[in-house]
Amino acid sequence: MSLPAHRRALLLERLQTEGRIVAKEIAAELGVTEDSVRRDLRELAAAGLCQRVYGGALPVSPAVAAYAERRAVATTSKHRVAVTAASLVQPGATVIIDGGTTALELARALPPGLDATVVTHSPTVAAALVEHPTVRVFILGGQLFKHSAVACGAVTTEAAARISADLFFLGVTGVHPEEQLTTGDPEEAAMKRVLASRAADTYVLASEEKIGAASAHQVLPFASVTGLITDAPVSTELAAALTRGEVGVVVAE
């Protein structure tokens, strides 16, 4: 099992079954050096098959794929999360909706009679609300990040600073007990933090593919959000981390 190809196959199997690789432990088990395991993890990460963290690796989130590809991932789970999130929007509320495919589902799930204001930096979310009869839409402009179909950067940040909202529905690519709330791009992570700072309450849109996964850039710690909306099972470790952060779990059914 010391051959590199065999080791990498085992590493991927362990990520799938155990949700984490600790380089020191797997090196001792296989009788190889930690450097060998770290080299394997670097190559797997370069191929997009894992997310390296201090001391090892975590499963990579499928939510870091390009926007067009993400539309086909966990569609039923995203719909459940979106419908539940929509039920939290009260008449007269001002709501910030993040970008992403679950956020798009949320825009479509808003009841047709809802009188509310939506602020978004996502042109796809804004377009989904064009036909909504009573929701007012404010679009935050800026440079379009085509990978995620959202506006980011200094112009967007400056516009967001003038917003005060009741709710922010946050999209992330990973929800992990140690890495907490993560995404794949540092500029998008910064934009999400700005948007969260402009809302009284922040709820995470956590469809099943994001639970237990991690990406390279932390968005926020659990303690900075109000709740996690998910239809996926929550592990004991994740439940404990959410409890420490005083984060409620809203079960999407």
Query: With pLDDT > 90 as the criterion, what percentage of the chain qualifies?
Result: 61
* CATH classification number, 67-251, choose in 3.40.50.1360, 3.90.420.10, 2.60.40.10, 3.40.50.720: 3.40.50.1360
Averaged confidence pLDDT in the chain: 89
Taking only Cα atoms into account, the Rg of the chain, rounded to an integer number of angstroms, comes to 19
- Average pLDDT estimate for 217-245: 95
* Confidence band, pLDDT 50/70/90 cuts, at residue 1: very low
Residue 249 has φ and ψ, to the nearest 5°, of -110, 120
Question: Do the beta carbons of residue 64 and residue 218 sit within 8 Å?
Answer: no
- pLDDT at residue 151 is higher than 90: yes
Domain with CATH 3.40.50.1360 in the chain: 67-251
Number of residues in the chain: 253
pLDDT of residue 74: 54
Task: Work out the average pLDDT over 149-157.
Answer: 94
pLDDT at 171 over 90: yes
Residue burial 72-103, b: 16+ Cβ < 10 Å; e: rest: ebbeebbbbbbbbbbebbeeebbbbbbbbbbb
At the top level of CATH, which class does the domain 4-60 belong to? mainly alpha
Q: Where in the chain is the domain with CATH 1.10.10.10?
A: 4-60
pLDDT at 229 over 70: yes
